[in-house]
Structure 1
Amino acid sequence: MERRSHGNWHPMTDPAPNSPTRFRTGGLSPRKPTRFDYAPDGSARAELARQLGLLALKRLHLAGEIRPVGRDELVLTARLTAAADQSCVVTLKPVAAAIDEEIHRRYVAGLTEPQGAEVEMPEDDTLEPMPEVIDLAEIAAEALALALPLYPRAPGAELGEMVHSAEGVEPLRDDDMKPFAGLSALAARLGTKGKPDNETDD
């Protein structure tokens, strides 16, 4: 699953060290998978909804396993399902979002995260340094933040020419919501450049 930032999500407060949502990597079985099934209660969902700016988080479920690979690697595979209500970017009306995502993480001992202002994205974005603790609540929250639509729209809602504009602020226009529209148009023009006038695509 592609990593990207979403909203103002920050990791939730760490649960108790012996909570079922946390697994100390040094204490996991080196020979067989450790299975998990995580479904936070209503208060935990409400707090996560507040952090993500959701109107409601009706359901959140993360189920899967942590599997040892050799002596220095753990692989987490899981399925995240969720049901949430977001605000329409045009009308602010509730927009339902149904999430069903496969999660794959590889934790490798001795791996260090690159430092510096300019960091190249690794070819394998599932690869992470081995943590001391694998926190299911944090994994579920991050995966949900990545999976939620960035610009939810209610059925029939159109941005039109202007969405919101405070006094002295440049109005948000439809093209602002589509940063790659200009590139698509340019690509289309370049695709026909150099063709004879009487040659067109079928």
Structure 2
Amino acid sequence: MVFEMPVFSLSAELAAETIKPDATYRCKIIPSEDEIDMLLARFDYIAVNDLVAELQIRKVARDCWDIQGRLTADVVQSCVVTGEPLAESVDFTLEERYVRLIDDTTSVEVDLDGVEPLKNGFIDLGEMVMQSLALAVTAWPRATGAAEYTEPEPVKSDHPFAGLAAMKQPTNKN
């Protein structure tokens, strides 16, 4: 018997307790058009096309869930030097661990680097996908042939602080 994988949007939050031990929950995350617009604004992208995350979620221990999967997308960003649109395809492996934080000040403090806390008992799948996309794309995209650095523009003498700058200049009293 073949089961269809449920499809969620980026607003998806999964109640952690619905994942039973020794079971794997599978789902897809595909953003709506409004969520794509939100991604463009949030990360200053020009376009995001064909974004899909396929996830497998397992409860691996008491109060601990692992997510593994794959994120694919086509993203268009601006070159940091020229502003030229640059297209990039990403195929990114997702691996994340979520834990339920216990608010017990008498217990031993454990370093939780590399894990995410549940949010009111929920795994925020959409936020995980958005952050993973931001990590998967080139951080500072640069067009082929773009200058390694740009010369700063000369300071104009009519800028708003020109009067203050003139006051700071040393005066010659000859």
- The partner residue of 2:114 within 126, 130, 143 is 126
Deviation at 1:142, TM superposition (A): 0.7
- The partner residue of 2:131 within 134, 142, 146 is 142
Distance 2:102 2:153 in 1: 47
What is aligned with 2:13?
A: 22
Deviation at 1:110, TM superposition (A): 3.6
Counterpart residue type for residue 72 of structure 1: D
Distance 2:125 2:154 in 1: 41
- Contact 1:111–1:128 (8 Å) recurs in 2: no
Please, what TM-score do these two structures have when normalized by structure 1? 0.61
Residue segments in structure 2 that go unaligned for 5+ positions in a row: 1-9, 104-110, 157-174
Deviation at 1:77, TM superposition (A): 0.7
What is aligned with 2:54?
A: 63
Matches within 5 A, 1:1-202: 15=11, 21-110=12-101, 125-131=113-119, 132-162=121-151, 165=153, 167=155
Distance 2:75 2:46 in 1: 8
Per-residue displacement from partner, 1:18-40 (whole Å, max 9, x unpaired)?
Answer: xxx22111222233011111111
Structure with more of its chain in strand, by fraction: 2
Please, what TM-score do these two structures have when normalized by structure 2? 0.69
Distance 1:166 1:146 in 2: 35
Give the count of matched residue pairs: 139
Taking only the aligned residue pairs, the percentage that are identical comes to: 31
Distance 1:68 1:160 in 2: 49
Q: Which has the larger radius of gyration?
A: 2
Deviation at 1:70, TM superposition (A): 2.7
Residue segments in structure 1 that go unaligned for 5+ positions in a row: 1-13, 16-20, 113-121, 169-202
- Contact 2:72–2:92 (8 Å) recurs in 1: yes
Shift in CA distance, 166/27, structure 1 to aligned 2, threshold 3 Å? farther
Distance 2:102 2:132 in 1: 22
- Contact 1:111–1:129 (8 Å) recurs in 2: no
**Helix, strand or coil: the match of 1:144?**
helix
Query: What's the RMSD between the two structures over aligned residues?
Result: 2.3
Deviation at 1:134, TM superposition (A): 1.2
Per-residue displacement from partner, 1:45-79 (whole Å, max 9, x unpaired)?
Answer: 12211111011112211111110113221111111
Shift in CA distance, 148/125, structure 1 to aligned 2, threshold 3 Å? farther
